Amino acid sequence: MNPRLEVINTGTELLLGSVINTHLQFLAEALFPLGLRIERQVTVPDGRAIADALQETFGRAQIVLITGGLGPTTDDITRDIVAELLNLELVHDEGVMQAIEERFIRRGFTLGERVRLQALRPREAIVLPNQNGTAPGLYLPPLPLPNCGQSSPHIFLLPGPPRELKPMFNEAALPLLQKLVPAGASEFKRNYRITGTGESHVEERIGAELLALGIELGYCARPGEVDVRIIGSKAILDRAETIILRHFATQIVSMDESSLEKVVIKLLTERSQTLGVAESCTGGFLAHHLTNVPGASRVFQAGFVTYANDSKTRELGVPAELILEHGAVSAEVALAMARGVVRVADVDYALATTGIAGPGGGTPTKPVGTVYVALASRQGKELVRHFTFRTDRETFKTLTTQAALDQLRQQIQ
């Protein structure tokens, strides 16, 4: 049984929404390989609120990580609160003071009175050096709690700024944490990214069967895709994988959390094939996804954001009569756009999108959300699919982009 670990983040800016909490992700990913999971996370404002949050963990958690409140300003009182709750005396640490002084001299700053407070630490604490700031981290081993038969958890005090926290955690905290975990306790984690279906559909088809294996199962849904996350021993994960593949083989985008665009660029790179896109309703979002992948330039040649009808005709040679007859949002025009890209940009594959993102522009026969996604290839392969994505404008663009990329992925896989 691994120790229970909890995280307390202090920082009024987090609760005001001025800053997004990225600590949790960093800490979770760093802890997982040790077999440690964050069982609970709390955010409290600067100041005394941390006292309650810490006290709540006593008797429940074996390890507590606290971030923030170690700096020199008046609202930085994490160190004092912990000393008070554990009834510990703060002593001046000469080694810390020297490190602070050297840092100030190097930067040409003068040393203020409040800065010296950062050299105070409980006598029982181990200092975690800070390479990127003045406030050191501290580790407190379990100590008897005042007026109570229990011991305190292992407590780690860590700085708030990510660029100070991250190296300190990796270099000084992780080695200490490693010693607190029983050997061989670590679990394995796998992730399957499935496209073209919803969370509830995925669970209906495989949920019961997977849970019967005794694994831990989680889902994370984003527009157009679902991540299925399984945690357990290697042998059981192998059996779970067989089940997932049996049901979703063709819809699995990746097993390493790679995005659809990364997978498509990789497949085309391996084949030395090129790609172009023509976008109406996705308005550049499809090209943006593809060009987010480092090395995309070997594959992706050109994109056309043909928003106006004229532009479809002029840039891609879509016949004006075709647009007049079927409308700009039609299977015929989507295909003509894709064909146009293959010809004009001289590429192996082309994807095209045309639809009505809304909020305006819908008609009775083609309501807001109507979209056509087409694929054409130099070899003459042609596909077109119709969807209705009735949602907000940005999600519409995301779903359409996913559908277009997946059409290509299925074709070249």
46 binds a copy of itself (CB under 8 A): yes
Site string for a copy of itself, 388-407 (x = CB under 8 A): x-xxxxxx-x----------
- Minimum distance from CB of 313 to a copy of itself (Å)? 11
Find tokens 């958890």 and name the residue.
153
247 binds a copy of itself (CB under 8 A): no
114 binds a copy of itself (CB under 8 A): yes
58 binds a copy of itself (CB under 8 A): no
Residue 23 to residue 166: CA distance in whole angstroms: 9
Bridge-based pairing state of the strands 252-254 and 349-355? unpaired
Residue 168 to residue 153: CA distance in whole angstroms: 20
Size of site (CB under 8 A) for a copy of itself:
114
Residues between 337 and 376 that touch a copy of itself (CB under 8 A) = 344-346, 357-361
Q: Where are the alpha helices (DSSP H) in 317-366?
A: 320-326, 331-345
- Minimum distance from CB of 124 to a copy of itself (Å)? 26
Residue 260 to residue 241: CA distance in whole angstroms: 20
- Minimum distance from CB of 399 to a copy of itself (Å)? 11
- Minimum distance from CB of 144 to a copy of itself (Å)? 25
| Residue type at 200 in one-letter notation | S
Pick from 287, 335, 337, 375: which binds a copy of itself (CB under 8 A)?
287
71 binds a copy of itself (CB under 8 A): yes
Q: Which is nearer to a copy of itself, 116 or 326 (CB)?
A: 116
26 binds a copy of itself (CB under 8 A): yes
Pick from 87, 178, 297, 413: which binds a copy of itself (CB under 8 A)?
297
383 CB-side CA count, 13 A: 18
Cα dist from 91 to 100, 124, 381, whole Å? 16, 10, 76
Q: Which is nearer to a copy of itself, 83 or 277 (CB)?
A: 277
Site string for a copy of itself, 142-181 (x = CB under 8 A): -------------------x-x---x--------------
Of the candidates 163, 158, 129, which has an alpha carbon nearest to the alpha carbon of residue 63? Answer: 158
136 CB-side CA count, 13 A: 26
Cα dist from 24 to 37, 79, 187, 211, whole Å? 11, 21, 20, 27
Residues between 204 and 223 that touch a copy of itself (CB under 8 A) = 204, 207, 211, 217-223
